Structure 1
Amino acid sequence: MPPEPQTSGIVLDHAAVTLTGRPILHDLTLALTEARIGIIGRNGSGKTTFLRLIAGLIAPSMGTVRVDGFDPAADRRSALAGLGILFQNPDHQILFPTGEEELAFGLRQQGRTTDDALRAAREALAADGRAHWGAVPTSALSQGQRHYLCLLSVLLMQPRTILLDEPFAGLDLPTKLRLARRLAALPQRLITISHDPASVAQADRVLWIEAGRIHADGPPDAILPAFTAEMVRIGERDSDTDITG
């Protein structure tokens, strides 16, 4: 009798992505079940495309992707419940003029009424000591504050897995430390995309993506020193013509 298909975690089976005729990700077969997973690689290595593939924002050109048993690209209702995404730039994520409207949007997408969603948004801001953000224009918040607002929006939807795209980029040190503490305390599975080894040093598992393929896969103390040494070696060269995008 064949084995039962895995329905917990994130499973890629020979998944590949080609965009505008160019292969970006190649033949990825993985089962990601750990609570804290780091994805590292240079700019242009395919990290963000990998995140978008898991999130269902793009469908695989070949193979399959399953998140807790569902196809995130085809089943958007399940994706809304199961996955949250924190993008690198909050301005690419925020859609609404006030904090409470931004928080309420995801809840309305999940089927709650506007009044109920706004009430839940205000309660969440108050519980986090940020009740005054409710009516404040999001444009008046600092980048770090907008980034944190996006995280609150994701958490309010209670996804089982949160995808983080360079979560500490552009943040000052106090904001970075506050965000790191909040993320470390979360019960959800976190998948962190980064080019900075320090950002994933506490992960349970690290994947090193190079040119759209898994170059190495293992615990951080095995992967990160090799990654850092390779980046130093590359940095000593005067050419970056091997980067394709």
Structure 2
Amino acid sequence: MIEYRQVGVEVDGYDIDGNAMTTRILRDVDLSLPQRRIAVIGANGSGKSTLLKLVNGLMKATTGQVLVEGLDPAREGRAVRRRVGHVFTDPNAQLVMATPLEEIELSLRASVRNRAERRTRALEVLASHDLGYVANRSVHALSGGERQLVALASVLAVEPSIIIADEPTTLLDLRNRIILGRAFEALDQQLVCSTHDLELAARMDRALLVDGGRVVDDGEPSGVIARYREQMAGCGSTRAGR
């Protein structure tokens, strides 16, 4: 389970005149997230991505505390990262090897020491996600959807208990959004997903609406999404960060 205990995040920077300033990105976040599939929605700059980055220590809370299965990412980052996999918006920022097979092998390097066993296991991982046919293709020859599925498979290969996905459908067409959505539905792991894809959010167990650095709505997805649509129609959003 993921917990946020009165979490705030502030970052230092400079204004247009070069004067030092502090920007508050998140404030007073107090949440317990036991559900299996959770959507985080909100406008650009609302604080969604920061909320997710706190889970595996990509960002640290300025105030309060985040706990992931009882561990604090700020102090026990290595142990937390063994439990949390992160899927980025753009798979090109995540995939570093030439082929999907090599990418999965890289993920398995720490847990499967023998090279032959690692290759066999990597092929099994790809096959389990219906990606065996792309094993030896260049990642640059894959479609956007295939690259995102390979990125997800590389994260799942190390068997985390939690998957964090930061706007994973943003660069995908409708067909590939549907395919990725089905892959998410099949996960055994807990999934926390920030998204502008409200159809994807509607299929989750719980939705959080972030606005101005605060969680302003929380509950059953259809109701949260409906209120978000009303908010956007009225153009009443305030933005504090991203």
Band of TM-score, shorter chain = 0.7 to 0.9
Contact 1:57 1:73 in 2 (8 A): no
Matched, 1:228 2:220: no
Amino acid at match of 2:2: I
- Distance in 2, Cα, partners of 1:114 & 1:156: 16
Deviation at 1:224? 1.3
Aligned to 1:46: 47
Amino acid at match of 1:10: I
- Distance in 2, Cα, partners of 1:119 & 1:73: 35
TM-score norm. by structure 1 comes to 0.87
- The change in CA–CA distance for 1:114 and 1:73 in structure 2 (over 3 A counts) is farther
> 1:193-227: CA deviations, max 9, x gaps?
01332221122211111111111111113211111
Amino acid at match of 1:96: M
Matched, 1:19 2:19: no
- Distance in 1, Cα, partners of 2:225 & 2:61: 28
Aligned to 2:204: 203
Aligned to 1:113: 113
**In structure 2, the residue corresponding to 1:70 is in which secondary structure?**
coil
Misfit runs of 4+, over 6 Å: none
> 1:145-166: CA deviations, max 9, x gaps?
1111001111211111111111
- The change in CA–CA distance for 1:129 and 1:208 in structure 2 (over 3 A counts) is closer
- Distance in 2, Cα, partners of 1:207 & 1:138: 34
Amino acid at match of 1:186: L
> 1:1-53: CA deviations, max 9, x gaps?
xxxxxxxx101111111122311111211111111111111000010011101
Q: Map 1:166-185 to 2 at 5 A.
A: 166-185=167-186
- Distance in 2, Cα, partners of 1:129 & 1:220: 29
Contact 1:38 1:203 in 2 (8 A): yes
Aligned to 1:32: 33
**In structure 2, the residue corresponding to 1:123 is in which secondary structure?**
helix
How many residues of Structure 1 are paired with residues of Structure 2 in the alignment?
231
Q: Map 1:39-118 to 2 at 5 A.
A: 39-109=40-110, 111-113=111-113, 115=115, 116-118=117-119
**In structure 1, the residue corresponding to 2:233 is in which secondary structure?**
helix
**In structure 1, the residue corresponding to 2:55 is in which secondary structure?**
helix
- The change in CA–CA distance for 1:114 and 1:28 in structure 2 (over 3 A counts) is farther
- Distance in 2, Cα, partners of 1:141 & 1:18: 39
Amino acid at match of 1:202: R
Deviation at 1:167? 2.0
> 1:156-196: CA deviations, max 9, x gaps?
11111111111221212222212111211111111110133
- Distance in 2, Cα, partners of 1:243 & 1:63: 21
List gaps (5 residues or longer) in structure 2.
13-21
Matched, 1:140 2:141: yes
Contact 1:104 1:114 in 2 (8 A): no
- The change in CA–CA distance for 1:107 and 1:176 in structure 2 (over 3 A counts) is same
The sequence identity of aligned pairs, in percent, is 34
- Distance in 2, Cα, partners of 1:174 & 1:209: 28
Aligned to 1:4: none
- Distance in 2, Cα, partners of 1:127 & 1:193: 25
**In structure 1, the residue corresponding to 2:39 is in which secondary structure?**
strand
List gaps (5 residues or longer) in structure 1.
1-8
Amino acid at match of 2:8: A
> 1:117-158: CA deviations, max 9, x gaps?
333112222344433422222122122111110011112111
- Distance in 1, Cα, partners of 2:103 & 2:114: 12
